[in-house]
Amino acid sequence: EDKVVQSPLSLVVHEGDTVTLNCSYEVTNFRSLLWYKQEKKAPTFLFMLTSSGIEKKSGRLSSILDKKELFSILNITATQTGDSAIYLCAVVRPGGSEKLVFGKGTKLTVNP
């Protein structure tokens, strides 16, 4: 059974801290891994990772994929209260009816 496991499930930090969110996966086929940020309701796309070892970066956020060890991390440096959200990881399986398997998410709370 395909599985995406995120850890920790929740995390509380202070502004300025650096956080690392983890996503491990077990899927029969793999095409890409996606990170989303979900504030209030609509998940918004952050990164798509397809190749191992290539860091994707956007401002204070960065992410990297390890296809050998089957995990990805999302780093946020110098956190701000606006980073408070649920961070979702999802793996895309290719196929005639391709599948998107989500993890449960990590709830990040950044306190002032």
Partner 1 sequence: ETGVTQTPRHLVMGMTNKKSLKCEQHLGHNAMYWYKQSAKKPLELMFVYSLEERVENNSVPSRFSPECPNSSHLFLHLHTLQPEDSALYLCASSQGLAKETQYFGPGTRLLVL
Question: To the nearest whole angstrom, how small is the minimum distance from the Cβ of residue 36 to partner 1?
Answer: 8
Is residue 58 involved in binding partner 1 (CB under 8 A)? no
Nearer Cβ to partner 1 (25/79):
25
Of 13, 17, 84, 102, the one binding partner 1 by CB under 8 A: 102
Nearest distance from residue 33's CB to partner 1, in Å?
10
**Least distance to partner 1, CB of residue 43, Å:** 5
With tokens 């891994």, the residue in question is 33
Centre a 10 Å sphere on the Cβ of residue 3 and count the other Cβ atoms it contains: 11
Residue at token pair 């956007």: 58
Closest of 108, 52, 101, 38 to residue 80, by C-alpha: 108
Q: Does 78 bind partner 1 (CB under 8 A)?
A: no
CA distances for 44 relative to 13, 34, 48, 86, 87, angstroms:
22, 11, 12, 11, 10
Place of tokens 């002032």: 112
**Contact residues: partner 1, CB under 8 A:** 4, 32, 34, 36, 40-45, 48, 88, 90, 92, 97-105
